[in-house]
């Protein structure tokens, strides 16, 4: 396969994955945005986490909530549990890496908050522990997943939302998670602050 063929393959796979996600996930993305807005209107906050590339997506969500997405507007309370290197390495060093998010959730989370969690496989132990810690604190979970949902999917409860990208390819899943993140950000802004042209 030539280099140009490989480039074409990446673009084609990306397009097909995102088209399938649109067909299968648009209603659940809308529902997730409604839950996020209800959380904010109730003076609660959104905590986000993920590993590796998924940590970047989680951080993107928090940054664009706290600063801006597509317009100037008041800052919205979202916190990335992925960005405090000292805290993460302290927990990993003194306990287990499995606890790096669960301990933060137990300390910072409050009932009525939402945990927005990103995982391509659903099999990371620290993601599973994060969900358990959220449930212990009466925090609902919105999980952006892929593949078959992994170990995470069975522990989600009836108040949680899973947005599962229809792909088994990690980078296609993470790319689509980023698009879904942008959809969620836009829908939150639109519901809280009114219509804005999507072409802006």
Task: Work out the number of other CB atoms within 10 angstroms of the CB of residue 190.
Answer: 16
C-alpha 38/C-alpha 99 separation (Å) is 29
Are 161 and 184 spatial neighbours (Cβ–Cβ below 8 Å)? no
- Report residue 198's pLDDT band, with 50, 70 and 90 as the boundaries: low
pLDDT of residue 95: 87
With vertex at residue 151, the alpha carbon angle to CA 19 and CA 38, rounded to the nearest 5 degrees, is 65
Instruction: Note the pLDDT tens digit of each residue in 112-169.
Output: 999 999 999 999 999 999 999 999 999 999 999 999 999 999 999 999 999 999 999 9
Spatial strand order in the sheet of 46-50: 78-80, 46-50, 114-118, 140-145, 161-164
- Domains of the chain, residue spans: 3-193
Instruction: Note the pLDDT tens digit of each residue in 86-128.
Output: 999 999 999 889 999 999 999 999 999 999 999 999 999 999 9
CATH number of 3-193: 2.60.120.560, 3.40.50.920, 3.40.50.10490, 3.40.1670.10?
3.40.50.10490
């Amino acid at each position: 396969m030539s280099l140009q063929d490989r480039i074409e393959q990446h673009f084609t796979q990306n397009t097909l994955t995102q088209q399938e996600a649109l067909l299968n996930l648009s209603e659940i993305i809308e529902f997730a945005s409604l839950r996020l807005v209800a959380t904010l209107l109730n003076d609660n906050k959104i905590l986000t986490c993920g590993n590796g590339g998924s940590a970047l997506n989680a951080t993107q969500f928090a940054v664009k909530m706290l600063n801006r997405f597509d317009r100037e507007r008041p800052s919205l309370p979202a916190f990335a549990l992925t960005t405090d290197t000292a805290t993460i390495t302290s927990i990993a060093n003194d306990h287990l890496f499995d606890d790096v998010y669960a301990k933060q959730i137990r300390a910072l989370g409050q009932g009525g908050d939402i945990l927005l969690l990103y995982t391509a496989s659903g099999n990371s132990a620290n993601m599973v522990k994060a969900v358990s810690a959220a449930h212990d604190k009466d925090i609902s979970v919105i999980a952006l997943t892929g593949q078959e949902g992994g170990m995470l999917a069975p522990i989600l409860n009836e108040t949680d939302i899973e947005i599962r990208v229809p792909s088994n390819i990690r980078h296609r899943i993470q790319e689509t998670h980023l698009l879904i993140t942008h959809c969620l950000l836009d829908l939150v802004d639109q519901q809280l602050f009114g219509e804005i042209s999507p072409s802006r």
